Amino acid sequence: MLKSPHLEKSDIDHFQECGFVALKNGFSPADAKAIQDWATELAARPEAPGAHWVYHEESQLETGVQLINRIENMTPYHAGLAELADVLIPGVGQLLGEDAVLFKDKINFKMPGGDGFEPHQDSQAGWEAYADYFINVMVCIDAATLENGCLQLARRDGTELVGREWEPLSEAQTAAMNFEPYPTDPGDVIYFDSYAPHMSAPNSSPNIRRLYFATYNKKSEGDHLASYYVDKRQSYPPDIERQAGKSYVYRV
């Protein structure tokens, strides 16, 4: 059984001021190893329609080479990863000041040659159709460094969308933001809300960089996981479920 990370008052204060807080060793080394093994095991499973969702990307280093980019919608298919999404709920509840419910979960793989992420706020990805406010919990699976593209965060001024929906933040919008890299080790945890601007660089190292992200909203705003995935299956299905000849574009 995984042990839930606990936030101190100073962590909660930091989160409220900046929109994010980083927690060293949120999970013990043994728990971090279990999470790492689950991620490896899930990625080794065959891809099938109706199972966990796997997305690929083309390597930035070798034309034509496909890499696993992301696995999403894991809780129905993996007991360990379902437990992980569950044990993060109390910490999110501490930050929300009320009960939290899971909205979505994923692992971003960022293999060597995997691409980075443009600066964005997660609420730009159409989430506001489901609830007003979300908290992401990042759990570090592999050491994330400057070279392999660790998460970079900027403090936010208020809880509002700076950017437009479905577009990364523009240069004008990020000009006054100060993105700082947050290198992490396995078991470290970062909480950030759906307005906290963030980005990450491509993986130009020989080392894989897997980061787990679970997203929660206030229980009082409803349980939207099922409808979110029904909608996303229409607009951006996993690679194995795609129709030939149809084009699907990753936007934010």
Ligand X SMILES: O=C(O)CCC(=O)C(=O)O
- Chain residues binding ligand X by CB under 6 A are 108, 117, 122, 151, 198, 200, 211
CB of 120 vs Fe ion, minimal distance in Å: 6
By beta-carbon proximity to Fe ion, the closer residue of 105 and 122 is 122
Binding flag, residue 31, Fe ion (CB under 5 A): no
The entry of ligand X, Fe ion, none near residue 152 (CB within 5 to 8 angstroms by kind) is none
Assign residue 187 a region: left if phi > 0, alpha if psi is -120 to 50, beta otherwise? left
Task: Kindly identify the residues of this chain, within the stretch 116-155, that bind Fe ion according to CB under 5 A.
Answer: 122
Residue pair 212/169 in contact (Cβ under 8 Å)? The answer is: no
Task: Kindly identify the residues of this chain, within the stretch 68-127, that bind Fe ion according to CB under 5 A.
Answer: 122
SS3 56: strand
**CB under 8 Å to 219, separation ≥6 — which residues?**
98, 99, 100, 101
The entry of Fe ion, ligand X, none near residue 151 (CB within 5 to 8 angstroms by kind) is ligand X
Cα 191 to Cα 91: distance, rounded to the nearest angstrom = 9
The entry of Fe ion, ligand X, none near residue 133 (CB within 5 to 8 angstroms by kind) is none
The entry of ligand X, Fe ion, none near residue 211 (CB within 5 to 8 angstroms by kind) is ligand X
By beta-carbon proximity to ligand X, the closer residue of 91 and 114 is 114
CB of 196 vs Fe ion, minimal distance in Å: 9
Cα 156 to Cα 246: distance, rounded to the nearest angstrom = 37
Assign residue 38 a region: left if phi > 0, alpha if psi is -120 to 50, beta otherwise? alpha
- Site residues, Fe ion (CB under 5 A): 122
